């Protein structure tokens, strides 16, 4: 008998009918002899509705009470699924974050999991009971307050629970049937991958792929939790295989590039004629860090003797704020002019095979040049490279690189 955690996202539990379909997926695994814990998100659209109510009640709301409100969406889903399972003849009970308990720090709205006591869930297995756990939420035990883990936190809840109860695997059910080489809406020839290494999935998630939340992949990699991405819309009696996210040594295919990720949520800021001396980079980036603004790509190039030009990217939502912070720090930084651009996109190629193959990025630069795509900035790491381009060329660039590395379906 194996132990399994199944996670179902908002679209999978959007209606009571879909919750009944989820119950059929769970019953299939129970009938196969597995010990099953289920983690659920709020019904699709419910969290946005609850957030809207908080903002309507008070623009500057108490973050602790915000967590109490938005966590209720998962509570509803957990209870409804437990009822649906019982109706299907499967013993089940719902668990909230504080009941498990899932202990977190006190960062309301984006708390991090400290520990999970899965003993109650495991004890339920001994009674033949399915545990239906509300995702996205936990408890700060010192204050006894409900906390939430931030957007996509149910994925993290599921993987962390799987690690805590020593599950054999964690199945993440969503509205797609696996991880694709790129977005099929952009490249119709994109194909579902059978296996992806943890490191590759972490890069893909952080670079724009929306299949899994970044923190959930981090937890899976640290604890070695074999994780499947599967579709909840498959027939419960004939489920698809999905994509397995696993250790690198479990992958036998020799693929140099695994996938192409892209993000249109990028903005570029360029500083001209910055003094090339110690402390200048700190003067630029410390104020942004203090404001909670994440900086991604950074490119510095000497423009003339003793001077340099500096380009970096931030999320589009942070652009105006970042621009104002840098402008207000003009005297401390000492630049001659500042420019910005919001109509840009980041295209990334990811693959563990890059470690042992030379010239992978150079091929991309030549192919993009031949298509007339200008590269504004480049960053590289051991298993990926990213280029910043004009947003208008996003789809052309993605299709070009997808074909270049042989990722198109036959």
Using one digit for the tens of pLDDT, what is the confidence trace for 277-307?
A: 888 889 999 999 998 899 989 988 776 677 8
Q: How far apart are the C-alpha atoms of 145 and 64, rounded to whole Å?
A: 7
Contacts of 72 (CB under 8 A, 6+ apart): 50
Burial class (CB in 10 A: 0-12, 13-18, 19+), 136: buried
DSSP E strand stretches across 92-177: 92-95, 102-104, 113-116, 130-134, 137-140, 145-148, 169-174
pLDDT at residue 248, rounded to an integer: 85
Helix (H) or strand (E) holding 16: helix 16-31
DSSP structure class, residue 293: P
Q: How far apart are the C-alpha atoms of 409 and 255, rounded to whole Å?
A: 14
Give the pLDDT confidence of 111-165 residue by residue, as tens digits. 999 999 999 999 999 999 999 999 999 999 999 999 999 888 999 999 999 999 9
Burial class (CB in 10 A: 0-12, 13-18, 19+), 168: middle
Sign of CA dihedral 372, 373, 377, 378: negative
Give the pLDDT confidence of 337-353 residue by residue, as tens digits. 999 999 999 999 999 88
Label residue 273 left, alpha or beta by phi (over 0 means left) and psi (-120 to 50 means alpha). left
With H, G, I as helix, E, B as strand and everything else as coil, classify residue 181: coil
Per the model's pLDDT, the better-predicted residue between 74 and 331 turns out to be 74
pLDDT at residue 253, rounded to an integer: 64
Per the model's pLDDT, the better-predicted residue between 357 and 50 turns out to be 50
pLDDT at residue 402, rounded to an integer: 96
pLDDT at residue 254, rounded to an integer: 66
Q: How far apart are the C-alpha atoms of 172 and 155, rounded to whole Å?
A: 7
pLDDT at residue 303, rounded to an integer: 63
Count of C-beta atoms within a 10 Å radius of residue 134? 30
DSSP structure class, residue 90: -
Instruction: Please check whether residue 16 is in contact with residue 172, taking contact to mean a CB–CB distance below 8 angstroms.
Output: no
Helix (H) or strand (E) holding 78: helix 72-87
Q: How far apart are the C-alpha atoms of 364 and 371, rounded to whole Å?
A: 11
pLDDT at residue 401, rounded to an integer: 96
Give the pLDDT confidence of 45-100 residue by residue, as tens digits. 999 999 999 999 998 899 999 999 999 999 999 999 999 999 999 999 999 999 99
Q: How far apart are the C-alpha atoms of 125 and 342, rounded to whole Å?
A: 52
Count of C-beta atoms within a 10 Å radius of residue 234? 16
Q: Please work out, in degrees rounded to the nearest 5, the angle formed at the alpha carbon of residue 345 by the alpha carbons of 382 and 397.
A: 75
**201-205, 351-355, 373-377, range with greatest mean pLDDT:** 373-377
Q: Which domains does the chain have, with CATH numbers?
A: 3-248 (3.40.1160.10), 260-404 (3.30.2130.10)
Q: How far apart are the C-alpha atoms of 66 and 111, rounded to whole Å?
A: 13
Instruction: Please check whether residue 90 is in contact with residue 129, taking contact to mean a CB–CB distance below 8 angstroms.
Output: no
pLDDT at residue 8, rounded to an integer: 97
Give the pLDDT confidence of 184-193 residue by residue, as tens digits. 889 999 999 9
Instruction: Round the average pLDDT of the chain to a whole number and report it.
Output: 92
pLDDT at residue 192, rounded to an integer: 92
Helix residue ranges per DSSP H, 192-290: 198-206, 214-223, 280-290
Q: How far apart are the C-alpha atoms of 158 and 134, rounded to whole Å?
A: 10
């Amino acid at each position: 008998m194996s132990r399994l955690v199944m996670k179902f996202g908002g679209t999978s539990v959007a209606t009571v009918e879909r919750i009944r379909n989820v119950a059929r997926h769970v019953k299939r695994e129970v009938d196969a002899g597995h010990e099953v814990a289920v983690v659920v998100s709020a019904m699709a659209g419910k969290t946005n509705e609850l957030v809207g109510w908080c903002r309507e009640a008070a623009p500057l709301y108490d973050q602790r009470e915000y967590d109490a409100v938005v966590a209720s969406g998962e509570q509803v889903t957990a209870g409804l699924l437990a009822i649906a399972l019982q109706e299907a003849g499967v013993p089940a009970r719902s668990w909230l974050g504080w009941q498990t308990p899932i202990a977190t720090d006190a960062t309301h709205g984006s708390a991090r999991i400290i520990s999970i006591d899965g003993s109650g869930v495991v004890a339920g297995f001994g009674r033949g009971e399915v545990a239906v756990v509300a995702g996205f939420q936990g408890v700060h035990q010192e204050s006894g307050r409900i906390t939430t883990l931030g957007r996509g936190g149910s994925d993290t809840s599921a993987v962390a629970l799987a690690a805590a109860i020593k599950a054999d695997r964690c199945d993440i059910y969503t509205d797609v049937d696996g991880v694709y080489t790129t977005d099929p809406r952009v490249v119709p020839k994109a194909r579902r991958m059978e296996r992806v290494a943890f490191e590759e999935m972490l890069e893909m998630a952080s670079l724009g792929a929306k299949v899994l939340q970044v923190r959930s992949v981090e937890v899976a990699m640290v604890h070695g939790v074999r994780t499947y991405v599967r579709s909840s819309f498959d027939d419960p009696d004939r489920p698809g295989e999905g994509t397995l996210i696993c250790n690198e040594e479990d992958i036998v295919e020799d693929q140099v590039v695994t996938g192409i990720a892209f993000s249109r949520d990028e903005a570029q800021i360029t500083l001209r004629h910055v003094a090339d001396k110690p402390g200048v980079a700190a003067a630029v980036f410390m104020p942004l860090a203090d404001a909670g603004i994440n900086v991604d790509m950074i490119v510095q190039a000497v423009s003339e003797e003793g001077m340099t030009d500096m380009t970096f990217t931030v999320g589009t939502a942070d652009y105006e704020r970042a621009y104002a912070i840098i402008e207000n720090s003009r005297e401390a930084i000492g630049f001659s002019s500042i420019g910005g651009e919001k109509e840009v996109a980041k295209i990334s190629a990811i693959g563990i095979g890059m470690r042992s193959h030379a010239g992978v990025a150079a091929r991309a630069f030549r192919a993009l040049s031949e298509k007339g795509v200008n590269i504004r900035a480049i960053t590289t790491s051991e298993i990926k490279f990213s280029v910043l381009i004009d947003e208008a060329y996003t789809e052309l660039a993605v299709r070009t690189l997808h074909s270049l590395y042989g990722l198109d379906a036959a």
